[in-house]
Amino acid sequence: MLGKVAPSISQTIYQLGMWYSGYRLIVSICLLLIFLLTAEQLTNNYIYPLLYLYTLIAYIGFNISQLFFLKIFSIHVNKQLIAIFLIDVICLSIITFATGGPNLQLSLLYVIIIFASAILLNAQLSLVVTLLAVIMIVYQRFIGNLLDYNNLSHLSNSLLLVFLFFVVYVIGRIAVQRFKILEALTFHQSIEIHQLQNINRYILDQIEDGYLVLDESNHIVLTNPAANTLLGIHLPVSHEKTPLIKWQPDLFELIKFSDLEDGEEFTFESQQSLYTIHVCVKHLIVPEQALILLILKDAQKLTQRVQQLKLAALGQLSASIAHEIRNPLAAIVQANELFSESDPHQQQMLSRMIRKQTKRIDRIVEDTLAMARNKPTEPQNIHLTEFFESLFDEDLADVKHMIQLELSEEIQILFDDKQLRQVLINLVRNALRHNASNMPYIEIKVHTEETRVWIDVIDFGLGVAKRDLSQLFKPFFSTEIKGTGLGLYLSHSFCEANHAKLTYVERQQGACFRIECSIIN
């Protein structure tokens, strides 16, 4: 994969070469203008003024032609850059010679040439350019001052410039290595991002639900084939945003003035589509952009799916009811067959058995009817302090002395009063039945955590076996012979109907059933 990085680096070097060519043209023109404007006043600064002038004119001509060739012929860029740097060093050396030898101002131009060559050329060629610049500087100063002991300070300045040239060369090579590493990392990251985009696109194409992403101006940012089918549009694949009004004006008219809230759901029909569409709104939080995701589903399929689930649940419920009734009914039939042939004492025992099994069938029927009635939930503000006082006095008076309540503050929740009573009655009486024989009470602890309140009903018995946890809230599951297995199921359903949760919390000793719901401020 590193081989694929080369075209990108070549393009970068070409762009940098163009910028450098433009820079050297501007510098040469500026030097010429300065000379023309100041030559008369600064005659002493130019030992060979005509050589300085003609060299600058030739340098400008070379720069214009090389910039033209580099712009038009973007091949053999490396060779063109070598020629550019050689001409730079030669012309700059002639200019410095014409001014009497190296000076700080012109030597800084050498520094820029060396640094640019270290970036645009390979290590060997950039080193050649650096050594050539060093030779030019040292030669002009050293030869002229080798036997002149009064100018040793000029020689030291030249050596300092030489040292500076090598430092700039090293820094340039380090910068090039860093640039290559960053280029490779960027390339690999772009490949990974592209692969992720392809995977996401493939997943979106396979999903049956439609996904439509809109921006604040109701422009389509993203869509998938399922959304196109449901909306009756044929949106071409494009990386540009498309106005929704152009492709689906009916949906645009429906939502253009609407303040769509997160989680909002509505049904939509359009003349362009053959489907009745169920729409769910989700707000997406992305950097510097507010997007809206519309999840589109075929409303008819949703209805069919709900009906199938209802039929499946009804079949499962019917099978469970039949199974629960079959056992006591078989006992009644058997007792009835033995009744006529038994003595009076056995007949009394069989009569008690028949009454007991009949009551059990009656409880199963009553609990099933209570579950099937599915009365509408009517949530209301409940002050827990007053509620528990009423619950203990009216519904749990016979076991009130066996309950310890921990409620340290006044708390309000939103819950259907009758359903909350039924849930707590079931949980409390279950806890009392399973409590340890040496414990005279169970506990109800009410505590808060931020905006949530937990109502824990705790006993100190053996707890729920791990093998039974997965069946705990299913209908007709019970570990007791006399139990119908609908108490916890109904309690769980009542909590869900009130936007609360009923969960089992494992403890080292005993069982804890927790009701979790929101606090009303």
My answer on whether 343 and 384 are in the same domain is no
Is residue 192 a part of any domain in this protein? no
Residue 293 and residue 308 in one domain: no
% of the chain surpassing 90 pLDDT: 5
Which tokens is 339 given? 């009744």
In a domain, 444, yes or no: yes
How far from chain centre, in Å, is Cα 355? 63
User: What CATH number did the domain enclosing 434 receive?
Assistant: 3.30.565.10
Residue 231's nearest CA partner among 282, 274, 267, 265 is 274
Answer with the one of 355, 373, 391 that is the final residue of a domain.
Answer: 373
C-alpha span between 128 and 335 (Å, rounded):
113
End residue of a domain, out of 186, 219, 246: 186
**Surface-to-core class of residue 230, CB atoms within 10 Å of its CB (0-12 exposed, 13-18 middle, 19+ buried):** buried
| pLDDT one-digit tens code per residue, 472-505 | 777 666 655 455 556 787 788 888 888 899 988 8
Q: Give the pLDDT band of residue 515 (cuts 50, 70, 90).
A: very high
Q: Tell me, yes or no, whether 163 and 37 share the same domain.
A: yes
pTM: 0.42
- Looking at the structure, do residues 16 and 53 belong to the same domain, yes or no? yes
CB under 8 A, 24+ apart: contacts of 274-280: 274/232, 275/230, 275/232, 275/299, 275/300, 276/300, 277/210, 277/230, 277/231, 278/302
Does 461 map to a domain?
yes
CATH number of the domain at 352, please: 1.10.287.130
Q: What is the pLDDT of residues 178-230, one digit of tens each?
A: 767 777 777 788 888 888 878 877 887 788 888 888 888 888 888 888 888 88
Locate the DSSP E strands across 305-402.
Answer: 380-383
Q: Are residues 12 and 153 in the same domain?
A: yes
Cα–Cα distance between 110 and 140 in angstroms, integer? 14
Note whether residue 244 is domain-resident.
yes
For residue 347, the enclosing domain spans 304-373
- Is position 511 within any domain? yes
Question: 323 and 280, same structural domain?
Answer: no
pLDDT of residue 443: 92
The whole-angstrom separation of Cα 306 and Cα 286 is 34
| Per-residue pLDDT, 6 | 43
| Co-location of 459 and 480 in the same domain | yes
Question: Cα dihedral angle (444, 450, 451, 453), rounded to 10 degrees?
Answer: -10
Give me the count of residues in the chain: 521
H or E element at residue 517 = strand 511-518
- DSSP letters along 141-178, please? HHHHHTT-GGGHHHHHHHHHHHHHHHHHHHHHHHHHHH
Domain-embedded: residue 502? yes
Angle CA 156–159–164, to nearest 5: 125
Nearest 10 degrees: Cα torsion 356, 360, 366, 371: 160
What would the pLDDT profile of 377-414 be if each residue is shown by its tens digit? 788 899 999 999 988 888 888 888 899 999 878 888 99
Query: Where is the domain boundary, 330, 356, 373?
Result: 373
Instruction: Provide the pLDDT for residue 456.
Output: 93
The b/e string for 159-168 (b: 16+ C-beta within 10 A; e otherwise) is eebbebbeeb
Residue 316 reports pLDDT greater than 70: no
Same domain, 287 and 308: no
Co-location of 406 and 493 in the same domain: yes
Domain count along the chain:
4
Compute the mean pLDDT over every residue in the chain, rounded to the nearest whole number: 78
d(CA 80, CA 65): 11
194: in domain? no
Both 234 and 293 in a single domain? yes
In a domain, 154, yes or no: yes
Strand 380-383, strand 412-415: pairing: antiparallel
Position 350 pLDDT exceeds 60: yes
Domain of 218, CATH number, reads 3.30.450.20
Residues 44 and 153 in one domain: yes
Q: Are residues 152 and 46 in the same domain?
A: yes
* pLDDT of 373 higher than 80: no
Residue-wise pLDDT for 62-90, tens only, equals 888 888 888 887 777 888 888 888 888 88
Which residues, 6 or more positions from 107, have their beta carbon under 8 angstroms from its beta carbon? Answer: 96, 137, 161
